[in-house]
């Protein structure tokens, strides 16, 4: 695997994408103190988190568009009258979502996750693996509209120019995504083995608060190599005294910046489900200079590339190619191919 793909967030996404919920976000938190991902957002994914540039379904003066503004010829997308925003409460119940290379050892987490002091052990059976743990249900919301796909095709050129020339992003055309749905929850924990995970065992600690003071979200079983992991959001964690140095669990390099151990706080009735664990979106993709609209979650090969991905070096721009066409196809979840005619 190329070096740019061996980050914890890329491996996490690659491993859980095939579960079919959408693009797995390593960092589900809203960015820049803004509302979390919304239907109609145009943005990009960086370091496993989604960043909104603007919302194509909101007016220029809408708060969602306050940070960067909108493209000069902002063409607001209007939801078709008969198009439905489908809301599915508790689309994913509390528990764990594991890659095919991670298995649970012992009782199912769903039966234990809310019990004080409960824990569950995972075992990685390959070099790479990933797991997402939800303390509360995750809710899904999505808008599926053929006109939304066409809107992307009609406006992508301007959106990319806005990102590159106005916001000054070092991005590629394929980095721009158009959000049509998401899965959100209140608290989460994620873990990923980038390499060396085969036969490693680690436990998730499902207890709350001071009862389990000093216990982190994940602990290592035996002398296994630790995964990279994180949990949050920070303001919903119970901070506990740090453990003595001779008893603190081994932690991945990316997690050593935390100065105290933390565990999930007991669910609060006023917490908003604003942590986006899966993002559902459309984006443009070019193969042999032919533009295609793809839908996140269609498969491993449809992952958005990181901004430093050199794989497009030397490739001609579709916008500079006289042979470019607006014809394309859509890959859906579950996989369903729809041929799009030229946008009118």
| Tens-place pLDDT, residues 281-294 | 999 887 655 666 77
Asked whether residue 277 carries a pLDDT value surpassing 50, the answer given is: yes
Asked whether residue 330 carries a pLDDT value surpassing 50, the answer given is: no
Asked whether residue 155 carries a pLDDT value surpassing 50, the answer given is: yes
Does residue 61 form part of some domain?
A: yes
Does residue 317 form part of some domain?
A: no
Asked whether residue 156 carries a pLDDT value surpassing 70, the answer given is: yes
Does residue 292 form part of some domain?
A: no
Taking the C-alpha atoms of residue 183 and residue 276, their distance in angstroms, rounded to an integer, is 6
Does residue 79 form part of some domain?
A: no
pLDDT, position 325: 41
Asked whether residue 117 carries a pLDDT value surpassing 70, the answer given is: no
Q: Which of 95-118 are b and which e, b meaning 16 or more Cβ less than 10 Å from the residue's Cβ?
A: bbbbbebbebeeeebeebbbeeeb
Question: Which tokens is 285 given?
Answer: 């993709």
Does residue 31 form part of some domain?
A: yes
Strands 177-185 and 138-143: antiparallel
**pLDDT, tens digit, 9 for 90 and up, residues 50-64:** 999 999 999 999 999
> What is the SS3 assignment for 105?
strand
Taking the C-alpha atoms of residue 342 and residue 344, their distance in angstroms, rounded to an integer, is 6
pLDDT, position 2: 53
Direct distance between the N- and C-terminal alpha carbons of the chain, in angstroms, rounded to an integer: 41
pLDDT, position 295: 72
Taking the C-alpha atoms of residue 224 and residue 327, their distance in angstroms, rounded to an integer, is 51
Question: Which tokens is 241 given?
Answer: 């005294």
Q: Which helix (H) or strand (E) covers residue 148, if one does?
A: helix 146-161
Does residue 335 form part of some domain?
A: no
| Residue 309 binned pLDDT confidence (cut-offs 50, 70, 90) | very low
Number of domains in the chain: 1
Taking residues 138-163, report their average pLDDT: 94
Taking residues 142-150, report their average pLDDT: 91
Strand partners, 183: 140, 278
Supply the range of the domain harboring residue 29.
3-73+85-279
Does residue 114 form part of some domain?
A: yes
CB distance 212 to 240 below 8 Å: yes
pLDDT, position 129: 96
Taking the C-alpha atoms of residue 231 and residue 133, their distance in angstroms, rounded to an integer, is 9
Taking residues 315-337, report their average pLDDT: 41
For 40, 80, 83, 138, 274, the CA distances from 144, given in Å and listed in that order, are 11, 10, 7, 19, 21
pLDDT, position 4: 54
Residue of 43, 106, 103, 105 whose CA lies nearest to 70: 43
Does residue 336 form part of some domain?
A: no
**pLDDT, tens digit, 9 for 90 and up, residues 191-243:** 999 999 999 999 887 653 333 434 467 888 877 788 999 998 887 776 443 43
| Residue 128 binned pLDDT confidence (cut-offs 50, 70, 90) | very high
**pLDDT, tens digit, 9 for 90 and up, residues 77-96:** 999 998 999 999 999 999 99
pLDDT, position 285: 80
Question: Which tokens is 113 given?
Answer: 């996750």
CB distance 118 to 207 below 8 Å: yes
Higher pLDDT, 268 or 153: 153
pLDDT, position 266: 60
């Amino acid at each position: 695997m190329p070096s740019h793909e061996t980050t914890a967030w890329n491996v996490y996404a690659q491993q859980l994408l095939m579960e079919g919920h959408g693009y797995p976000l390593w960092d589900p938190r809203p960015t820049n103190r803004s509302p979390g991902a919304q239907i109609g957002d145009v943005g990009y994914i960086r370091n496993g988190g989604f960043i909104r540039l603007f919302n194509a379904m909101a007016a220029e003066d809408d708060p969602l568009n306050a940070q960067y503004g909108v493209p000069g010829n902002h063409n607001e997308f209007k939801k078709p009258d008969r198009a439905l925003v489908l809301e599915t409460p508790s689309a994913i119940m509390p528990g764990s979502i594991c890659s095919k290379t991670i298995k649970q050892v012992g009782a199912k987490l769903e039966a234990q996750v809310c019990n004080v002091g409960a824990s569950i052990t995972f075992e990685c059976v390959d070099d790479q693996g990933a797991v997402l743990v939800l303390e509360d249900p995750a809710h899904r919301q999505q808008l599926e509209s053929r006109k939304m796909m066409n809107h992307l095709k009609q406006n992508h050129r301007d959106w990319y120019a806005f990102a590159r020339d106005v916001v000054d992003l070092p991005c590629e055309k394929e980095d721009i995504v158009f959000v049509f749905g998401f899965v959100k929850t209140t608290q989460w924990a994620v873990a990923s083995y980038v390499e060396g995970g085969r036969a490693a065992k680690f436990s998730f600690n499902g207890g709350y608060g001071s009862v389990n003071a000093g216990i982190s979200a994940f602990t290592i079983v035996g002398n296994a190599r630790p995964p990279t992991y994180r949990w949050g959001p920070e303001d919903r964690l119970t901070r506990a005294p740090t453990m003595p140095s001779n008893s603190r669990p081994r932690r991945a390099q990316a997690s050593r910046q935390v100065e105290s151990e933390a565990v999930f706080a007991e669910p609060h009735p006023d917490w908003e489900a604003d942590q986006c664990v899966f993002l559902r979106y459309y984006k443009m993709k070019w193969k042999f200079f032919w533009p295609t609209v793809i839908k996140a979650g269609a498969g491993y090969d449809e992952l958005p590339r990181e901004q430093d991905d050199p794989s497009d070096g030397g490739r001609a721009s579709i916008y500079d190619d006289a042979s470019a066409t607006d014809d394309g196809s859509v890959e859906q979840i579950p996989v369903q191919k729809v041929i799009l005619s030229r946008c009118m």
